Amino acid sequence: MEGGGRPSAAQAVLLAASTAITALLYSIYRQKARVASGLEGARKVRLDGDLRAVLLEAPGRCVPYAVIEGVVRSVKDTLSSQFVENCKGVVQRLTLQEHKMVWNRTTHLWNDYEKIIHQRTNTTPFDLVPAEDGAGVTVRVMKPLEAAELSLETVYEKFHPSVQSFTDVIGHYISGERPKGIQETEQMLKVGTALTGVGELVLDNATIKLQPPKQGMPYYLSSLDFESLLQKQESSVRFWKILTVVFGLATCAVLFFLLRKQYRHHRERQHLRQMQEEFRQAQERLASAEGGEGLKNACVVCLSSTKSCVFLECGHVCSCHECYQALPKPKKCPICRQGITRVVPLYNS
């Protein structure tokens, strides 16, 4: 603590940073909790012949947040894998990712570094249909790339290591970057994949559409079933809640430490004022008892014995011999705080 009981700059920064981190974590936790609560309250509808009737009875022919499960089926054309034969899907993502080692001048270690240098995503319209054929009900999936969780299966993955000459190796060590190679990946949402869609379900003319919700809730197209998806979100809520509690307790501990320091400083100042008041009262009592003359010759430390010491080299006569002996080492004059080299007894005749 600094003078006056105020916290130091480092302590103030620590408290402010801890408070800000706690507030940020709490904000994330509240958002995750809202998402999990909204997902738990989403209306579960079945992909069957009654679905159209349900939407006709709903206000505006719309269910704002619905859960529906079905199997992926392309509307017209399908996308073919560039590397795997007879692999067809409705969403295709091709990624080229660079892998290299970067020298960290702080830790003096080589760290892995990954960077996407090219990515292309192709889509084609698709529907969700019942797992059992024959119901004749389909749901058109709109804007699948806006989904917060879009389950894509990796169908091809290959790593192409870098070919380096001896000169290249020396140059890489000097520059602090060592290329490892390029990883080529193809991911697809294959036809026939079972999906759980969570979003706004609307009847548009004769077409039933699943699209991103308008209330700010997340849009899901997940290969997990609804219960697993809900458990995943609840696990995320618990994780952020634990982090919030931990940092909240740390913030409380820092605040308690600062308040305790300030309280102790306040008690010390109160004790000092009390001692000053007692000293003033003792002076008044001594002045009234001896008419002022006794106070003039009284020891400035105990205010009871007579001054009997001359301090050299400053020359002050201010203390009795007993109080001089009680002064802490190195002994200094109580008046001018100059060091005492020797003491001469004072005799009053």
Residue 302 lies in a domain: no
Asked if residue 215 is part of any domain, the answer here is: yes
The DSSP symbol for 260 reads H
Say what the pLDDT of residue 190 is: 93
pLDDT tens by residue, 240-279: 999 999 999 999 998 998 888 888 888 988 988 888 888 7
pLDDT of res. 145: 92
Question: For 28-39, what is the mean pLDDT?
Answer: 92
Higher-pLDDT residue of 347, 128:
128
| Average pLDDT value for residue range 198-220 | 90
- What pLDDT is stored for residue 120 in this prediction? 94
Please, what is the average pLDDT of the chain? Answer: 86
Is 78 part of any domain?
Answer: yes
Please indicate, yes or no, whether residues 18 and 100 belong to a single structural domain of this protein: no
Three-state secondary-structure class, residue 148: coil
Same domain for 79 and 191?
yes
pLDDT value of residue 334: 82
Per-residue model confidence (pLDDT) at position 295:
61
On whether both 97 and 188 belong to a single domain, the answer is yes
Q: Express as a percent the part of the chain with pLDDT over 90.
A: 43
Over residues 126-148, the mean pLDDT reads 85
Residue-level pLDDT at 7: 73
Burial (CB count within 10 angstroms: exposed 0-12, middle 13-18, buried 19+), residue 72: buried
List, for residues 277-294, the tens digit of each pLDDT value: 887 887 677 666 555 555
- Domain range for 326: 309-345
Residues 209 and 240 in one domain: no
Is residue 159 situated within a structural domain? Answer: yes
Q: Name the residue with higher pLDDT: 177 or 283.
A: 177
Residues 240, 173, single domain; the answer is no
* Alpha-carbon gap, residue 221 to 212, rounded angstroms: 10
**8 Å CB contact between 297 and 306:** yes
Same domain flag for 176 and 241: no
Q: What is the pLDDT of residue 286?
A: 63
Number of domains in the chain: 3
Of 237, 262, 277, the residue at which a domain comes to its end is 277
Q: Are residues 213 and 245 in the same domain?
A: no
**Is 213 within a domain?**
yes
Between 33 and 303, the more confident residue is 33
Q: Which of 223, 239, 260 is the last residue of a domain?
A: 223
pLDDT value for 312 = 84
Output the pLDDT for position 3: 52
Nearest Cα residue to 169 out of 179, 159, 161, 160? 179
Q: Is position 18 within any domain?
A: yes
What pLDDT was estimated at residue 288? 66
In a domain, residue 105? The reply is: yes
Q: What is the DSSP string of 3-19?
A: GGGPPPHHHHHHHHHHH
| Same-domain pairing of 80 and 165 | yes
82 and 208 in a single domain? The answer is yes
Burial of 124 (0-12, 13-18, 19+ CB in 10 A): middle
* CA separation for the pair 110, 180 (Å, rounded): 12
More confident residue, 284 or 137: 137
Q: What is the pLDDT of residue 281?
A: 80
pLDDT of residue 45 exceeding 60: yes
Q: Are residues 242 and 210 in the same domain?
A: no
Residue 296: inside a domain, yes or no? Answer: no
What's the rounded mean pLDDT across residues 304-310? 81
In the DSSP assignment, the letter for residue 2 is -
**Co-location of 217 and 256 in the same domain:** no
Are residues 271 and 256 both part of a single domain?
yes
pLDDT in tens, 73-127: 998 889 999 999 999 999 999 999 999 988 888 888 889 999 999 999 999 999 9
